Chains A and B, each alone.
Chain A
Amino acid sequence: MATVQQLLEKFHEVASSPQKQKEYYLKEGKKVVACVPIYTPEEIIHSMGMIPMGTWGADVEVKEAKRYFPAFICSIMQSVLELGINGKYKGVSAIVIPYLCDSLMGLGENWKMAVPDIPFIPMQYPQNRKPEYGIEFTKQAYLRVIRDLENITGAKFSEDNLKKSCDIYNAHNKAMREISSILANHPEISAVNRKDIFKSAYFMEKEEHTRLVNELIALLKAQPKQDNNKIKIVTSGILADSENLLKIIDDNNMQIVADDVAHESRQYRVDVPVDGAPLDNLAKKFSAMDHCSVLYDVDKKRADYIVNLAKQYNAKGVIVILTKFCDPEEYDYPILKGAFDKANLPSTLIEVDRQMVNYEQAKTNIQTFREVLEY
């Protein structure tokens, strides 16, 4: 059995080499399907025997994508398109793009022209996802994804296989929730390590990732309880995978004890129901999802959700990591801030993007926040 260190290294390796992972699966004769944020029905792709790979862009300079996007479109979309144009997704059978925000729509529409050799499959999620007609619409949209996948790849869909995949995904959800929770008691696992655990999930077969995460959970559970003098914080935002940024959090003796990050825990909060027809269940899973800036919620329950998360894990503050030009998050921010203030929960706001070269402001910001929390 591997040690904690070895496991962390493995997560790090996978998290930092999506290209290699893609090549590996392709060599194994598997088909890979790119999945764009925020949510896609990965279970379906998995059930059809393919590898769904998360495609959240990368910290690269945007050049080619500027032909398609004006500067004020978020850097996640810009960099996904950039990588697509530059052939970084070569070999991928298709890309699934969910139309959950205006910029994602721009990405899908541009993709058809900019990267014609990788077929684009739209995933039309409903915003009124809770009533019967909303669940039905989700199901119909899934059927469309299935049809497209069958046509493009020749793979076949079956409800039986979907059932198995949903179980595998539920097990993975459970493992991810558990590891996040356990890490709160393990200050020695850095923010960078934590990111690797979450990020690697996008580039591995879920069974394998679940196995590794469960191994890590077992090892950590077996360890004696550690002293923890780190400052506990909760992170919130769309994406927080920048090592430069996370290192600043680590350097300031802070520990992420829970997160409301779309790229991390937001993915794992809700399971597919078990009883009933698998595809219906998958649609019901989406209808049960909440607490997210791209999912309609007039009550804005997300704000209190984060406050409670902080309370539950004894966090002293929240770092809001705002991806520049992400309008759903920008609209939520004043409401979140209001809820934090009301709960006397200190918070700070850091704007990030995928073209960040200068982290000085983030450094000053986080250091000041630490000084405020320590006082």
Chain B
Amino acid sequence: MYTLGIDIGSTTSKCVILEDGSKIIAKSLVQAGTGTDGPERAYNEILDASKLKKEDIAHIVATGYGRAIYTSANADMSELSCHAKGVHFLFPDVRTIIDIGGQDAKVIRLNQQGIIDSFLMNDKCAAGTGRFLDVMANILQISINELEVYASKADNPVKISSTCTVFAESEVISQLAKGVTIENVVAGICESVASRVAALAKRNRVEEKVYMSGGVAQNAGVRNALAKELGTEILFSEYSQYMGALGAAIAAYEKWRKETGGKDHE
């Protein structure tokens, strides 16, 4: 039997299909999030890719910012629980998960059974979130995906220390005005996000191993800076962005088993 998890974020929609709660058979990602046709497209894409039909899916769980308004799901679950499930499924040794999302940064600590011991989300300031990176990329007129490329070429990253987004913006502009290279500014921005998120992680006590999920995990600039700040290796994988959807698919399987008592449907 098949279950589907759909993670509807603020800027992307991701789907994962699981077979019998144990095998990933397909995944999809669309660069459009809640309030767009992104979720529907991601859903259709994954059906195409897996060659499955709607009726083949026994249970759907939605997660992410758009989880509550997605009507095709049987249930919804918070992205924190889903990331925890997803990461524990693929990397059972992980005890700390860091997820820098578009709107929120989250730090989750797991116990050995993969159950959330404690979790923390960023305060009301946006300086440690994906949104901050968006704003900064916008100022620099580069795409968010290019940040990593620029950061890797930095030889002397500047220090962007302001905790306030508006101040950080002015710091970035004044660094550029001073003639600092864009590479060094970008690296400084990545380090600034890392430092904010590291502070959050420390508040929640960091236990190894540490895994980074979410879209920003692909950004080596932030990831490496975070590893340095926390003094520990940070794991990530090609599945980092899909962890929410994967966890939702696992949750869908668990819910289906609970409801049907494990009997196969039909």
A residues adjacent to B (C-beta < 8 A): 324, 348-349, 351, 353, 360-361, 363-365, 367-368, 371-372, 375
- Chain B contacts to A: CB under 8 angstroms: 65, 68, 77-81, 103-104, 115-116, 119-121, 123-124
Contact B104 A361 (CB under 8 A): yes
Residues of B within 8 A of A371 (CB): 77-78, 80-81, 116
* Contact B121–A364 (Cβ < 8 Å): yes
Contacting pair A372 B119 (CB below 8 A): yes
> A375 touching B115 by the CB < 8 A rule?
yes
Judge whether B124 and A364 touch: CB under 8 Å. Answer: no
Q: How far in angstroms is the closest Cβ of chain B from A231? A: 14
Q: Are A368 and B120 in contact (CB under 8 A)?
A: no
A residues less than 8 Å from B65 (CB atoms): 360, 364
The 9 closest A-B pairs by CB, nearest first: A368-B78, A367-B78, A368-B80, A371-B81, A372-B116, A364-B78, A351-B124, A361-B104, A375-B115
CB distance from A30 to the nearest CB of B (A): 40
Given A372-B116, A375-B115, CB of A361 within 8 Å of CB of B121:
yes
User: Interface of chain A, helix or strand or loop or mixed?
Assistant: helix
Give complex CA distance A351, B123 in Å.
7
Q: How far is the CA of A360 from the CA of B67 in the complex (A)?
A: 11
| A368 and B124 contact, Cβ closer than 8 Å, known pairs A360-B65, A361-B103, A375-B115 | no
The chain A residue sitting closest to B34, CB to CB, is: A360
Residue of A nearest to B117 (CB): A372
- The minimal Cβ–Cβ distance linking B242 to chain A, given in whole angstroms, is 18
23 A-B contacts (beta carbon < 8 Å)? A324-B123, A324-B124, A351-B124, A360-B65, A360-B103, A361-B104, A361-B121, A364-B65, A364-B78, A364-B104, A364-B121, A365-B121, A367-B77, A367-B78, A367-B81, A368-B78, A368-B116, A371-B77, A371-B81, A371-B116, A372-B115, A372-B119, A375-B116
Most buried by B among A324, A361, A375: A361
CA A367 to CA B80, docked complex, whole Å: 9
B202 to chain A, nearest CB (A): 13
User: Which residue on B lies nearest to A349, using beta carbons?
Assistant: B120
Q: For the complex formed, measure the closest distance between the CB of A365 and the CB atoms of chain B, giving whole angstroms.
A: 6
Q: Are A363 and B124 in contact (CB under 8 A)?
A: no
Q: Which of A348, A353, A367 contacts B124 (CB 8 A)?
A: A353
Q: Min CB distance, B96 to chain A, in Å?
A: 16
> How far, in angstroms, from A360 to B121 measured CA to CA in the complex?
12
Q: Which residues does chain A contribute within 8 Å of B123, judged by CB atoms?
A: 324, 351
Nearest-neighbour CB distance to chain B for A59, whole angstroms, equals: 15
Point out the residues of chain A lying under 8 angstroms from B80, CB to CB: 364, 368, 371
Beyond A368-B78, A371-B78, A371-B81, 18 extra complex contacts between A and B, CB < 8 Å? A348-B119, A351-B123, A353-B124, A360-B65, A361-B104, A361-B121, A363-B68, A364-B65, A364-B78, A364-B104, A364-B121, A365-B121, A367-B77, A368-B80, A368-B119, A372-B119, A375-B115, A375-B116
Query: Smallest Cβ distance from B39 to chain A, in angstroms?
Result: 16
